[in-house]
Amino acid sequence: MGTLVLHVPSDLFGRDFGLVRESRDAPVINGHVERQSRVSGDVHVVIYRDLAPGSYTVVDTGQRVNIVSGLVSELELLGHRSVPKKTA
């Protein structure tokens, strides 16, 4: 099993992003943007754990990533237009 760390802009904090394995009838794996504090400052990421090896696509972006068993893959979210959060 592998892990994906999806790096996103800070204004997307609290949003959800889907990840789908490139195979027939694969369910969408949802992840939530979280803030992590590091020595160099805060980063905003979605962490997808326990992914089966293979190719995946970030929903609504078309970005692809290959997951390798036993490794952590990292991907920078590209081309995502920030949209104001809905308020209750």
pLDDT at 82 over 60: no
List 48's β-bridge partners, or say none: 4
Give the Å distances, CA to CA, from 9 to 33, 47, 54, 71, 88: 10, 14, 26, 24, 23
pTM summary value: 0.82
Model pLDDT for residues 7-53, shown as the tens digit of each residue: 999 888 889 999 999 877 888 999 999 999 889 888 899 999 999 99
Backbone angles phi, psi at 44, to 5 degrees: -120, 125
Q: What pLDDT is attached to residue 86?
A: 45
- Measured at the alpha carbon of residue 63, what is the angle toward residues 57 and 69, in degrees to the nearest 5? 55
What ranges do the domains of the chain cover? 2-72
